[in-house]
């Protein structure tokens, strides 16, 4: 049985109004991270969802995706693949530029992190509009690897990020 059976992680997510700009209600995960039992329960629940599935690696975008991605990879007994902003990785990389609301951004990962035939679980803390996760998805597929699913701790369903990720499987622990 999951440790989440007795812990509701929603109780550990703080609403911060008007951050990062007026009109936004920010879902702050730092209280959850400050409570080791709750943090472990979240990782355990994610691991339970994907246990028994053939997964070779968990990949996550910096920075908050790393917080959940690395312990999930350990729990599943698979590799962790960091996806980073340009110029942060020391070895040869593959990269992908993607559109933002105003402008573009770029993500990179080591070119030998995953490859053909490997199955990758993508993870991030929050699913909002889905743009960053879509870029992670496309970057992983660029290597020939297969994306098994896109997983999130929190999903802001009113922003319709799932639509950006179709037809990929999407899994979220907490949906607002």
Active site residues per annotation: 64, 101
Q: For residue 19, give the H/E element and its range.
A: none
* Residue whose C-alpha is closest to residue 95's, from 140, 47, 46, 153: 140
The helices-and-strands tally (H runs, E runs) of the chain is: 5, 9
Cα separation, 38 vs 94, in Å, equals 35
66: CB partners within 8 A, 6+ apart: 60, 82
């Amino acid at each position: 049985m999951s440790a989440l059976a007795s812990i509701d992680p929603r109780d550990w997510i703080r609403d911060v109004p008007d951050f990062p700009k007026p009109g936004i209600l920010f879902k702050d995960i730092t209280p959850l991270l400050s409570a080791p039992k709750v943090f472990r329960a979240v990782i355990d629940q994610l691991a339970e969802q994907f246990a028994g599935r053939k997964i070779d690696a968990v990949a996550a975008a910096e920075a908050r995706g790393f917080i959940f991605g690395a312990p999930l990879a350990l729990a599943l007994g698979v590799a962790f693949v960091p996806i980073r902003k340009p110029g942060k990785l020391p070895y040869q990389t593959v990269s992908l530029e993607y559109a933002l609301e105003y402008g573009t951004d770029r993500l990179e990962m080591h070119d030998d992190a995953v490859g053909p035939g490997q199955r990758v679980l993508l993870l991030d803390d929050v699913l909002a509009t889905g743009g960053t996760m879509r870029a992670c998805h496309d970057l992983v597929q660029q290597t020939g690897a297969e994306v098994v699913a896109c997983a999130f701790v929190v999903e802001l369903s009113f922003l319709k990020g799932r639509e950006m990720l179709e037809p990929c499987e999407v899994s979220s622990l907490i949906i607002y």
